[in-house]
Structure 1
Amino acid sequence: QMVVIEIEFDERDPLFKCCCGIFHVKTGTRILSVINVLISTGLAFQLFFFPYNWLWSIIEYSSATANVISSASMFIATFTFRPKMVIGYLATQLIILIFTGLLFTACMVSIIIPESVGRFVIEHLSK
């Protein structure tokens, strides 16, 4: 026999407001996911019309695709009340953050110690 426990939940509680109490967290999540999808789609179109290095294009397409899928799942999660669907978005953002941090660190090292830049990179950029 299953026992159902109902918990009092006031959706209008100021605890669930974001951006200084302007709107609800669910609304903020929807706005964030729509903006993410638009930016990722724009990036994919930019890469399609102005292709760069093929390796960076593959990385950017993969990142944009993962971002669109995870943002769409986050958007769906706000309507279907499945909070676990947001985990994909958080994981995607964490991976992008780590990759961006590594890229930033590599750029800083190459600025501070120019000799550390590999010969492959110098030859590739000089073309």
Structure 2
Amino acid sequence: MNQPEFDQLSRREREVMYLVHEHGEVCAETVKNEIETPISYSGARRYLSILEEKGFLTMENRGNKYFYKPVANTTEVGLKFMKKIFGSFFAGSPTLGIATFMQKEGGKLDDQELASLEKLLQDVSSEDDQA
């Protein structure tokens, strides 16, 4: 079975999915307390159940709580979004997208994050040279 697409979800369903991917696992209480736009506990439960029925989440019962995890790998979902964002907002250019992000947010990265980013870029460059 193919994974359903985020594009098929309502705004609220996407908002819940972003939260699930951010945390890796949530219960209705987490959704109620942490979602950006207010939602009741029963509303959070309803959306989690809907997303499970649609194939986006798996559910596990632990005691009197239900915990939900994403079906799709969070990194893969993130990559799909990045490709779409680069295509829609940065003329298809990852370089332009990353450069813009770094100009706006780069000052918020600590030395360890910057060193890690430099190493990743060197590794990618080395892979390109070997190809």
**TM-score of the superposed pair, with normalisation by structure 1:** 0.29
TM-score normalised according to structure 2 size? 0.28
Higher strand share: 2
Q: Which has the higher helix share?
A: 1
